[in-house]
């Protein structure tokens, strides 16, 4: 699993990356009440707004950590947005993206580096 | 009216250390560093208040005593309510008006008395924290030497709200048991002098307790020692008041909005409408007769994301007719709810409009306010 400074994670399987938000991000947001996942077929560029996650109080953008085409969105979040809090780095995933530039993944932090980054916040 | 001045250091309330000890997340609000949430988060704090009792620090709000030869009559020069006939021991909601009939702030004003009915002393006024300096200046300027304003900057304000609030508070303050909604009493409890109203900003039964600053920590901790009571931050205070259909100054109300537009006509008493002797009376009486150019609506969002402040409101044909001024997710209804303003005439409950969220129209139904029924104790 790789991580961004904006607290997204990426798990690559072949040429498809599963994307979600980290446990730290879920904790900061508080109880998630709504998730807007990207449409399947949409092409995203690393750094673009990609999804929106909403708590009672506010809406927050989630940025695409990598570029590619959305091949699946986590439909289960529609009825159970709280999954993002319960299992942010597992069943609370947002979308799967077919990588257009796999090298982007290598530029992301590994868990050790991400945890060191969290210590600086 | 900035709620977040960057040019001044943030002030703290007498309960600041108590919030930190409880693990609160602190944010700037109304010039103060205030708890937006505690460790359980907004959703759980909200539901706890609806089911049990929540304790809130609202000491940022402005408290003052207005005195004079005829302070009730004098106060009517800046508000449209009937204060001359306000009974001792009662509180009343009102709005401070500018000369165009726009709302400078909304407020509570009362005549606190003790359980013997004595102690009546002018008018006790509570205004919004972000507006308080300007409010008291406006009142002083408009009323001149006929009133004196004694600011209660040495008092904290604690709200205890929820269905279990009354039982908890009455254990320490037995005099509070005889109070109904909008009663205000002077009483001694926790070893200090309190000014207590049976009212609040959640739609629930409960009390707001004005307490000397030096005793605030003690009152807070004693109330919080009850298992029914948890601390609630400003995040849940906002979602609770939204479910209760109550406007928030600086969002739903501002100096351009009249009380008629805001749906606060209950605050414009009949005798005052006839006398037309309050600021902006010409506009307000005209709006009462003909309907205002824009009206406040309550919307349940039927699909998609919650519509938040700034989202456009469109009619069924897609024409933009207004804007959301407060919106979010209702923890009780488990859907988006919003307050907004649309061009008049007022749409009927059941009408379907659209809210535009991130460019996409989503259906929203006009409903009667409040979204969640009030549970005030009006009779004992």
Residues B52 and B176 placed together within one structural domain of the fold:
yes
Cα nearest neighbour of B360 on chain A: A36
Quick check: A30 and B41 in contact, CB under 8 A? yes
Quick check: B258 and B103 in contact, CB under 8 A? yes
Closest residue to A57, CB basis, from B42, B44, B358: B42
Token couple for B269: 């008493």
Q: What is the rounded distance in angstroms from the CA atom of residue A57 to the CA atom of residue B238?
A: 8
In a domain, B277, yes or no: no
To the nearest whole Å, the CA of A23 is away from the closest chain B CA by 15
Boundary of a domain, candidates B202, B226, B243: B243
Residues B53 and B161 placed together within one structural domain of the fold:
yes
* % of chain B residues with pLDDT over 90: 98
To the nearest whole Å, the CA of B41 is away from the closest chain A CA by 6
CB contact under 8 A, A31 and B44: yes
The pLDDT of residue B3 is above 70: no
Cα nearest neighbour of A56 on chain B: B329
Per residue in B10-25, pLDDT tens?
A: 999 999 999 999 999 9
pLDDT of residue B8: 76
In a domain, B94, yes or no: no
The pLDDT of residue B98 is above 60: yes
Residue B327 belongs to domain spanning? 293-367
Q: What is the CATH number of the domain that holds B213?
A: 3.30.1360.120
- The whole-angstrom distance between residue B290's C-alpha and the CA centroid of its chain comes to 28
| Predicted-complex ipTM score | 0.89
Please list, residue by residue across B345-371, b when 16 or more beta carbons sit within 10 angstroms of its beta carbon and e when fewer do: ebbeeebebbbbbeeebbebebbebbb
In a domain, B248, yes or no: no
In a domain, B96, yes or no: no
Per residue in A52-111, pLDDT tens?
A: 999 998 999 999 999 999 999 999 999 999 999 999 999 999 999 999 999 999 999 999
Residue B7: pLDDT band by 50, 70, 90 thresholds? low
Cα nearest neighbour of A82 on chain B: B43
Residues B165 and B43 placed together within one structural domain of the fold:
yes
Query: How many C-beta neighbours within 10 Å does residue B242 have?
Result: 27
Establish, for the pair of chains A and B, how many residue pairs have beta carbons separated by less than 8 Å: 46
Boundary of a domain, candidates B243, B267, B283: B243
Average pLDDT over residues B285-298: 98
To the nearest whole Å, the CA of A2 is away from the closest chain B CA by 28
Residues B304 and B238 placed together within one structural domain of the fold:
no
pLDDT of residue B6: 57
The pLDDT of residue B5 is above 60: no
Q: What is the rounded distance in angstroms from the CA atom of residue B181 to the CA atom of residue B199?
A: 6
Cβ of B22 under 8 Å from any chain A Cβ? Answer: no
In a domain, B99, yes or no: no
Residues B161 and B54 placed together within one structural domain of the fold:
yes
In a domain, B234, yes or no: yes
Per residue in B251-269, pLDDT tens?
A: 999 999 999 999 999 999 9
Phi and psi based region of residue B263 (left: phi greater than 0; alpha: psi -120 to 50; beta: remaining): left
Orientation of helix B165-172 relative to helix B213-224, angle to 10°:
120
Cβ of B305 under 8 Å from any chain A Cβ? Answer: yes
Cβ of A121 under 8 Å from any chain B Cβ? Answer: no
Residues B41 and B166 placed together within one structural domain of the fold:
yes
Residues B180 and B51 placed together within one structural domain of the fold:
yes
To the nearest whole Å, the CA of A58 is away from the closest chain B CA by 8
Q: What is the CATH number of the domain that holds B304?
A: 2.40.30.110
Cβ of A55 under 8 Å from any chain B Cβ? Answer: yes
In a domain, B102, yes or no: no
Q: Which residues of B touch A33 (CB under 8 A)?
A: 43, 306, 329, 331
In a domain, B301, yes or no: yes
The pLDDT of residue A40 is above 80: yes
Residues B237 and B157 placed together within one structural domain of the fold:
yes
List the single best residue of A32, A33, A48 to mutate versus B (max B Cβ within 10 A).
A33
Query: How many C-beta neighbours within 10 Å does residue B22 have?
Result: 16
Cα nearest neighbour of A52 on chain B: B305
Average per-residue pLDDT for chain B: 97
To the nearest whole Å, the CA of B178 is away from the closest chain A CA by 36
Would you tell me which residues 340-379 of chain B have a C-beta closer than 8 angstroms to some C-beta of chain A? 358
pLDDT of residue A57: 87
Domain boundaries, chain A: 2-119
Q: What is the CATH number of domain A2-119?
A: 2.40.50.100
Number of domains in chain B: 2
pLDDT of residue A90: 97
pLDDT of residue B2: 43
Boundary of a domain, candidates B243, B264, B283: B243
Cβ of B239 under 8 Å from any chain A Cβ? Answer: yes
């Amino acid at each position: 699993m790789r991580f961004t400074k904006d607290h997204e994670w990426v798990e690559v399987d072949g040429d498809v990356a599963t994307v979600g938000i980290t446990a730290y991000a879920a904790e900061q947001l508080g109880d998630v009440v709504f998730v807007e996942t990207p449409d399947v077929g949409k092409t995203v560029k690393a750094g673009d707004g990609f999804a929106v996650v909403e708590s009672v109080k506010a809406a927050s953008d989630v940025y695409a950590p990598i570029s590619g085409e959305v091949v699946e969105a986590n439909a289960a979040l529609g009825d159970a947005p709280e999954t993002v809090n319960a299992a942010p780095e597992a069943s609370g995933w947002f979308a799967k993206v077919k990588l257009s530039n796999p090298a982007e993944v290598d530029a992301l932090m590994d868990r050790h580096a991400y945890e060191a980054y969290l210590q600086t916040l | 009216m900035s709620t977040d001045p960057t040019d001044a250091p943030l002030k703290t309330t007498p309960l600041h250390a108590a919030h930190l000890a409880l693990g609160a997340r602190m944010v700037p609000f109304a010039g103060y560093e205030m708890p937006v949430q505690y460790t359980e988060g907004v959703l759980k704090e909200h539901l706890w208040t609806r089911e049990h009792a929540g304790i809130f620090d609202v000491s940022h709000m402005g408290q003052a005593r207005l005195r004079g030869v005829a302070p009730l009559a004098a106060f009517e020069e800046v508000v449209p309510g009937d204060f001359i006939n306000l009974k001792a021991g009662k509180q009343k909601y009102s709005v401070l008006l500018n000369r165009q009939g726009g709302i400078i702030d909304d407020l509570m004003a009362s005549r606190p008395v003790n359980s013997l009915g004595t102690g009546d002393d002018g008018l006790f006024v509570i205004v919004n924290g972000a507006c308080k300096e300007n409010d008291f200046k406006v009142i002083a300027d408009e009323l001149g030497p006929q009133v004196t304003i004694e600011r209660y900057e040495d008092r904290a304000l604690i709200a205890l709200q929820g269905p279990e609030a009354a039982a908890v508070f009455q254990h320490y303050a037995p005099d509070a048991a005889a109070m109904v909604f909008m009663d205000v009493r002077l009483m001694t409890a926790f070893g200090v002098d309190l000014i207590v109203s049976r009212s609040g900003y959640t739609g629930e039964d409960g009390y707001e307790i004005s307490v000397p600053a030096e005793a605030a920590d003690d009152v807070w901790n004693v109330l919080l020692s009850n298992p029914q009571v948890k601390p609630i931050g400003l995040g849940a205070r906002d979602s609770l008041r939204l479910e209760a259909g109550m406007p928030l100054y600086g969002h739903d109300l501002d100096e351009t909005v009249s009380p008629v537009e805001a749906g606060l006509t209950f605050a414009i008493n009949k005798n005052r409408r006839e006398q037309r002797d309050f600021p902006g009376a010409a506009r307000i009486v005209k709006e009462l007769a003909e309907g205002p150019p824009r009206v406040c609506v309550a919307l349940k969002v039927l699909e998609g994301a919650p519509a938040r402040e700034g989202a456009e409101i469109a009619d069924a044909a897609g024409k933009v007719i207004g804007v959301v001024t407060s919106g979010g997710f209702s923890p009780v209804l488990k859907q988006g709810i919003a307050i907004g303003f649309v061009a008049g005439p007022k749409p009927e409950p059941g009408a379907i409009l659209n809210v535009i969220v991130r460019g996409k129209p989503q259906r929203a139904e006009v409903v009667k306010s409040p979204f969640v029924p009030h549970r005030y104790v009006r009779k004992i």
